[in-house]
Amino acid sequence: MESQSLVAFDLLILAWFAYLGGAVGSFSNVVACRLPMGESIIWPGSRCPRCLTPIRWHDNVPILGWFLIRGRCRACQTPVPARYVWVEILFAGMFDVFYWTDIRMSGGRIPLEFLIHPSVSALTLFTQHVLLMSSLMIMALIRADRLPVPTSFITSVAFGLIVLRLATGVGWASFIDTTLGFVSGLLAILAVDALLERTPFARWSRWEVGRADLSGLFLVGIALGTRILLLVIFLMLIMAVTLTLIQKQRYLAWGLAFITFVSIILSVT
Ligand SMILES: [Zn+2]
């Protein structure tokens, strides 16, 4: 194949993964809004939170939809927060990055390699990474609304991550690695909690550790294993101090998502 058509193929697939990411981001917005309220995340479909008018399918296109309706509900003119479109853009970018690092780089030099010779391990790794990051971002959104993250959400994601992690490797080594990640996730929660809540450092840093932050670390441990978890905790402590110094603690949940993202990229490239 000529190099020009290779580039065209690459762009096409990147656009498709960006679209997929935008759609997952759109769904994550819905999950973050409805989950803390105990509402169903599947039914009813997307609708205006104020006048309950269903959103038309052609306005529900990820990212573009928000611009089509000019950031307002078509029926009642209530502004749709820009946060929705920002989340969709973040998800679109994230899907592209993980497609590139987990699938494209691992497979081969041909853009459609993963369709011709599907690599189960590459696809599983991709799914694992997007599940972890999507969950961390949903938790950050819920935290931004100052609402609690339901335990059922954490346990469901944890279960999914354990299954995916066992699937990425074969045999006992993978099982032991998953178990260690699981245990170190738990230990990390206890250690960080003790460090930040029950020591003088706690009063100095005034870091209000939410259960969501600790659950986030737990999920990181399960998904990525002990080594990366320690890196994430180390970076998170530095960030917690920095955010405290500049009085921006409320960005901690987003900080965990960002640090985890960077740590994954560092570990796979
Ligand atoms: Zn409306």
Query: Given this model, what pLDDT does residue 130 score?
Result: 97
Render pLDDT for 8-25 as a digit per residue (tens, 0 to 9): 888 999 999 999 999 999
Which residues lie below 8 Å from residue 197, measured CB to CB, with a gap of 6+? 209
- Rounded distance from Cα 44 to ligand 1 centre (Å): 15
d(CA 140, CA 176): 30
Residue 147 Cα to ligand 1 middle (Å): 23
Rounded to the nearest whole angstrom, what is the distance from the C-alpha of residue 134 to the centroid of ligand 1? 27
What is the whole-number distance in angstroms between the Cα of residue 89 and the centre of ligand 1? 23
Cβ contact 188:221 at 8 Å:
yes
- Would the pLDDT of 91 be above 80? yes
**Ligand 1 midpoint to CA 55 (Å):** 9
> Which candidate, 147, 117, 114, places its Cα nearest to that of 34?
147
Report pLDDT digits (tens) over 192-202.
767 666 655 55
CA of 75 to the centre of ligand 1 (A): 5
What distance in angstroms lies between residue 58's CA and the mean position of ligand 1's atoms? 16
pTM comes to 0.86
CA atoms within 13 A on the CB side of 199: 8
* C-alpha span between 88 and 83 (Å, rounded): 9
pLDDT score for 109: 61
Say how many Å lie between the CA of residue 65 and the centre of ligand 1: 15
Q: What is the mean pLDDT of the chain?
A: 82
What is the spatial distance between Cα 107 and Cα 100, in angstroms, rounded to a whole number? 10
CA of 16 to the centre of ligand 1 (A): 30
Neighbours of 3 (CB within 10 A): 7
Q: How far is the CA of 80 from the centre of ligand 1 (A)?
A: 9
Confidence at residue 157, expressed as pLDDT on a 0 to 100 scale: 94
For ligand 1, the distance from its centroid to the CA atom of residue 135, given in whole angstroms, is 28
Q: Using one digit for the tens of pLDDT, what is the confidence trace for 142-154?
A: 988 888 888 889 8
Q: Return the pLDDT at 89.
A: 96
Q: Is 4 exposed, middle or buried (0-12, 13-18, 19+ CB in 10 A)?
A: exposed
Q: Which residue has the higher pLDDT, 108 or 121?
A: 121
Average pLDDT of the residues in 159-164: 89
User: Of the candidates 64, 266, 35, 262, which has an alpha carbon nearest to the alpha carbon of residue 145?
Assistant: 35
Report the candidate in 176, 155, 156 with the shortest Cα–Cα distance to residue 166: 176
Distance from residue 56's CA to the centre of ligand 1 (Å)? 12
What is the spatial distance between Cα 248 and Cα 253, in angstroms, rounded to a whole number? 11
Residue 223, C-beta contacts closer than 8 angstroms, at least 6 positions apart: 128, 129, 131, 132, 161, 164, 165, 181
- Ligand 1 centroid to 78 CA: how many Å? 6
How many A from CA of 47 to the centre of ligand 1?
8
105 alpha carbon – ligand 1 mean position (Å) = 44
- Domain residue spans of the chain: 1-90, 119-269
Of residues 70, 78, 212, 52, the one with CA closest to residue 148 = 212
> Could you write out the DSSP letters of every residue in 35-92?
GGGT--SSSS-SB-TTT-PBPPGGG-STTHHHHHTTTB-TTT-PBPPHHHHHHHHHHH
Residues 71-87 have a mean pLDDT of: 88
Ligand 1 centre distance from Cα of residue 79 (Å): 9
Distance 72 CA to ligand 1 centre (A): 8
What's the pLDDT score for residue 74?
A: 85
Residues with Cβ < 8 Å from 249, sequence gap 6 or more? 206, 207, 208, 240, 243
Q: In this predicted structure, which of 63-77, 126-140, 207-221 has the lowest mean pLDDT?
A: 207-221
